[in-house]
Structure 1
Amino acid sequence: MIASVRRVISVCTLGAALAACGTVEAPGGGRTAVPSTPARHPAAPPTLAAGPAGLTPVFASGSRTRGKTVALTFDADMTADQGPRAAEGERFDNPQLIATLRALKVPATVFMTGRWAEEYPVQARGIGRDPLFEVANHSYSHYAFTADCYGLPTLDEDRMRADVDRAFKAFRRAGVRNAKPYFRFPGGCYDRRALRALSGSGVTAVQWDVVGGDAFATDADAVARQVLEGVRPGSVVVLHCTRSAAPTTERAIRTVVPELRRQGYRFVKVSELIGASAGTS
């Protein structure tokens, strides 16, 4: 281009000029219009439609007839009042488990409490930004949404929605991008009142159909057997990502993963199972 040119040369149509063009400095001091790159937004994660009377939908397993898929899920539990125990050295994380999942190239969904993300922000951010994983909501406090739930403190109904929202905020502060709109009730305990309290929040409640039995377990082989005996096509397996409360999980995974692959199973995230159930994948 000749250096003395001082006019704007448009490469966009006139009707789109304001919306889709930018300008750059041309040689000689002029301005040359260039097309802007359209912003790319990730597709919204699949969710289920609300249940009767608008209640929060609940998902427990995927299709039994659309291939041998299985979702491993891990609850990263830490209650709002366990900070002093963490300060004294108790470990509520399990970095070796995450490392093993990465080494085995196993997609997984981590249901994380907001308090866990606050205690381990570097790990939360690493999990949240790794395309192998997805982060979902396990409440902020890990307090129960019903009475008589494994001895957990109980939230009042008017605090339930706020506790879920607070967890999402804790994820963002930790640097977790695009946490999924999935929620797992602490202890898996819920009732109609809890589903009503979360109505309109946009979350899909995620339960499971296979209990790994790793909580407070000391026998990794027994945990592995329980998972392998329970898995069916479309299964959601619940396990834990907390060293102090589930010390055998990583060893069990090293048995479970190769055996399920030998049986022809493909590991997926919860979002894929929900997407298939919702007809979006």
Structure 2
Amino acid sequence: MITLTRGALAVCVLAAALTAACAPARSSREAPRPAPSASSPAVPSPPTLAPGPAGLTPVFDHGPRTGGRTVALTFDADMTADQGPRAEAGERFDHPRLIAALRELKVPATVFMTGRWAEEYPDQARSIGGDPLFEVANHSYSHYAFTADCYGLPTVSGDRMRADVERAYAVFRKVGVRDPMPYFRFPGGCYDRQALKALVPAGVTAVQWDVVGGDAFATDADAVARQVLDGVRPGSVVVLHCTRSAAPATERAVRAIVPELRRQGYRFVKVSELIGAERGGAPPTGK
């Protein structure tokens, strides 16, 4: 997804999405997970939430506000299904310097990756997925919207929503992403009851956020950093972007955000750790 700074909530020429959705109530019970096969050793399942009201896909937007100062930085690796020609023409939808900065700063993070992005940058997708500092989650295959009127994005029909999510997981397997998480972020953050119902068979927890980074198309890294620092509370999920052409200031902003939040006593964790704490597990430790 793509978000814009305060006061600039306009549809962008690049059909990028920003935040607008409201999350339903969350449950602290874990959703059922399939048992391991007899031929493979048991591996702990990632924490998920139980179905939401009326059995719909659960939605998570932040972790517990008590139990310590933890925050999850999340990065959307956006590329829509129809942007191949732009990539061929030289537009860069990846952001290697941002990933390098996170590694340098030793910041755990969750990357919500589209299947199309993983197809375009398979080596980077595999590297991120194989690094224990990160976890890869699903941002759809196409980055098309799951509702109508979502910031100019093309839309996925209701009968194709589950398939779009599962296609992304298939691409992750094909390019060698290790153990992608059962978490899904709606393109643009746009969802409704139909979308939540359509994704129930996929077994995912939808992950939103409570802090908008405002880095989409921003060139002022200090402004992005201020917006994040002003919004973070214990348990926050921050949405930023891992797309060089659409979010060129993100790496510089992260280099300002991380030391300041650490100075304030915050510890960085992955989304899975916040979800685990939300459902009643051990408090996240972080870095």
Under a length normalisation based on structure 1, what TM-score does the superposition of the two structures give? 0.86
Larger CA Rg, structure 1 vs 2: 1
Inter-partner Cα distance in structure 2 for 1:218 and 1:41 = 46
Is the aligned partner of 1:244 residue 2:245? yes
Report SS of the residue matched to 1:110. strand
Between the two structures, name the one with larger relative contact order (CA 8 Å, sep ≥ 6): 2
Letter in 2 for 1:102: R
Inter-partner Cα distance in structure 2 for 1:173 and 1:191 = 30
Aligned positions of 1:21-100 closer than 5 A: 40-100=41-101
Inter-partner Cα distance in structure 2 for 1:277 and 1:167 = 26
Is the aligned partner of 1:158 residue 2:159? yes
Inter-partner Cα distance in structure 2 for 1:148 and 1:247 = 26
Unaligned residue ranges in structure 1 (runs of 5+): 1-37
Aligned-residue CA RMSD in angstroms?
0.9
Contact 1:46 1:280 in 2 (8 A): no
Deviation at 1:278, TM superposition (A): 1.1
Report SS of the residue matched to 2:128. helix
Look up the match of 1:232. 233
Look up the match of 1:33. none
Look up the match of 2:278. 277
Look up the match of 2:135. 134
Q: Name the structure where strand makes up a greater proportion of residues.
A: 1
Inter-partner Cα distance in structure 2 for 1:199 and 1:183 = 12
Letter in 2 for 1:215: A
Report SS of the residue matched to 2:202. coil
Deviation at 1:82, TM superposition (A): 0.3
Report SS of the residue matched to 1:200. helix
Deviation at 1:52, TM superposition (A): 1.6
Report SS of the residue matched to 2:79. coil
Is the aligned partner of 1:172 residue 2:173? yes
Inter-partner Cα distance in structure 2 for 1:196 and 1:280 = 27
Letter in 2 for 1:276: A
Contact 2:162 2:201 in 1 (8 A): no
Is the aligned partner of 1:121 residue 2:122? yes
Percent identical pairs in the alignment equals 80
Count of paired positions: 244
Deviation at 1:280, TM superposition (A): 3.0
Look up the match of 1:13. none
Deviation at 1:39, TM superposition (A): 5.5
Inter-partner Cα distance in structure 2 for 1:101 and 1:40 = 32
Inter-partner Cα distance in structure 1 for 2:201 and 2:156 = 19
Deviation at 1:279, TM superposition (A): 1.6
Deviation at 1:177, TM superposition (A): 1.1
Unaligned residue ranges in structure 2 (runs of 5+): 1-38, 283-287
Look up the match of 2:205. 204
Deviations 1:85-117 (Å, cap 9, x if unpaired)?
A: 000100000000000000000000000000000
Under a length normalisation based on structure 2, what TM-score does the superposition of the two structures give? 0.84
Inter-partner Cα distance in structure 1 for 2:119 and 2:99 = 18
Deviation at 1:54, TM superposition (A): 1.1
Inter-partner Cα distance in structure 2 for 1:255 and 1:92 = 23
Contact 2:128 2:134 in 1 (8 A): yes
Is the aligned partner of 1:190 residue 2:196? no
Report SS of the residue matched to 2:200. coil
Deviation at 1:200, TM superposition (A): 2.4
